Amino acid sequence: MAAMNLVSAGVHSFNLKAGKRFSISKPKGCKLGPRAALVEAGPRGDGSPAALQVSRGDLAADLQAEARAMARAANASVYSPELLANKYGSRPVQAAKRTLEILVALGSFALQLLVDQRNGTLDRNKRKRAIELRGIFTRLGPTFVKLGQGLSTRPDLCPPEYLEELAELQDALPTFPDADAFSCIETELGMPIESLFSSISPSPIAAASLGQVYKAQLKYSGQTVAVKVQRPGIEEAIGLDFYLIRGLGFFINKYVDIITTDVIALIDEFARRVYQELNYVQEGQNARKFKKLYADKEDILVPDIYWNYTSGKVLTMEWVNGVKLNQQAAIESQGLKVLDLVTTGIQCSLRQLLEYGYFHADPHPGNLLATPEGKLAFLDFGMMSETPEDARSAIVGHVVHMVNRDYEAMARDYYALDFLSTDVDVSPIVPALRDFFDDALNYTVSELNFKTLVDGLGNVLYQYPFNVPAYYALILRSLTVLEGLALYADPNFKVLAASYPYFAKRLLTDPNPYLRDALIELLFKDGRFRWNRLEDLLIEGRKDRDFSAKDALQPVLKLLLGPDGEELRNLTIKEAVRVTEAIILGSVADTYNSAPSFIQTLMINGNGNGALAMSTADLEATMELRNQVFRIWGLLSSSENFDPALLQPILQVLQQPEGRSLGGRVVGGVTQRLAARLLQQLLRMPTVPTSSSL
């Protein structure tokens, strides 16, 4: 492939292949830059792919195109420790040279840590050393850039200062020659580049550790697309590095007692994810799945994949016009608000974590764009992860235990979350959780900073034998990144306040048995119903656009009247008696207070509380309970999609034997309490004076 030949005239040209001339037209009024210009293709040749891109509505043709893309990627590399050992074990010189390069870089860093430790400045220099480590990883190349990004999500392995600095690692590695990229496109897709695209940018518009991206226009349809091309020789580079890193992992597992995590397992898991990123067909399939699950919301955008222009090393997807989420001025210049976009991102992240369990595992600002229409666009689906189904519910339960300050239950949650093996005693962890969360939970949800919470929890994880699963660490990183972006726009923004409506909605509406138990645990304490908690949940849940009063009512009824609901029925009956009594007594009090004064004097006792025989404090508590129940009903009845017909299932249930029994017990309880109050009132009536006493 001939080299690019740029000239200073108004029209610049270069030869891609003999006899094929492309021209780069200089836009009027603009300076020509390699990242701004587009390469205009020449006349259409005989090899034009007239039927390459299928109609979006033609599912069968789309599946066929995907199958052809998979065939082109049939030889994509898969991570295999055994194959790497066989390959590089027979290349001692190559392995030794790379080992020396790595040892010199990391050895000098380790030496500095030893000096800090000897001088007693280890803690004071943490930030400085973290910055140095970030620079070392960048210089060592793609594998270590990815490794650093992976470590930035592991609070069980790194102190907070290192987490913050490694999180700033950007894939800003030097670009590789454009001629190599264009050659890769032609080789992978089996056609001359001018037969594929009517224009393509002469230089990449973005570069990352594993590849770089060009802007192009499909020749067949004229659609503007992004073409991602893999870096040449990347498999060789990362294969050698992982072979060497794995050897280091064996050494750490055997001789470094301070690290309790299985380092080999971590390396293998991470390497598998990186190798998956090398298969661009897999990335396209990830994008399609992500779009199916989450782009049903009108404020989420996921680009389409063009399978006929995709292979193992070339990925072509819909071009998205947008601004990176960390460019606040550019976003606001379009009349958009960063906080609205961040809130959208938080809600989507929570859905990824807790609803479907399939989530974007590399959520740095460069992969999130604000479109001119106000949508949040997700890019780069090479690294995805999944939350196990059991863990999704356990996380919500963990939040409930945190709100209830039940630290023993929080500690036990770490078994279900797979943070700890079941043979680890959690009793020493409870005081550490109590010390941190007692202080943190003194703030309201709207005041608590998520990063502070994560850092504090990270300190606890770092001190004890935790093994934080990748899914949990990555979602914490995602929410922390989003909160960090929001803080630039509003220093008072709190991600927990933005997340709480989603948690409230899930607790109120999800029929999952684990979440139903978590809701009961949140609402009942010491046999009493906490109406203030229900009111708070409804207030927050209504802020979620998907909240429905219908969804909130039905699962509760099913649980209440189910075969396993006896304990809950007993609690509910007691509370129903209290509420019914409060409504009746409240109505009596209202009637008494609205009556003329001469009528009040005729009522029993004629005291300030009328015929209720209640202290002022009891009357105030009763009135507050009644008013709270009325407020909760108001929240339900004013919810979107509320229909009074929703109450029909309750009436139907009450006509069933279980329902009649439940209603009868409530009526009986109310009757007994009112009768007791009436008897108490009669016993307190003043004695009528006899004639002898006059």
Catalytic residues: 362
Per the rule left: phi > 0, alpha: psi between -120 and 50, beta: everything else, 265 is alpha
Longest dimension (CA), the chain: 134
Q: What angle do CA 605, 611, 614 make, to 5 degrees?
A: 100
**CA–CA distance, 339 with 487 (Å, rounded to integer):** 9
Give the 3-state secondary structure of residue 38. Answer: coil
C-alpha pair distances (Å), 488 with each of 160, 326, 482, 622: 20, 8, 10, 47
- Give me 110's structure tokens: 């380790």
Phi, psi of 126 (to 5 degrees): -55, -45
DSSP lists the bridge partners of residue 200 as 39, 216
C-alpha pair distances (Å), 476 with each of 216, 352, 469, 479: 36, 12, 11, 5
Contacts of 249-256 with C-beta under 8 Å, sequence gap 24+, read: none
Residue whose token pair is 């709270």: 628
CB–CB of 277/284 below 8 Å?
no
Residue whose token pair is 């990004």: 149
Buried b (16+ CB within 10 A) or exposed e, 276-308: bbbbbbbbbbbbbebbebbbeeebbbbbbbbbb
**CA–CA distance, 198 with 42 (Å, rounded to integer):** 8
DSSP lists the bridge partners of residue 368 as 378
DSSP E strands in 430-519: the ranges are: none
CB neighbourhood size of 416 (10 A): 17
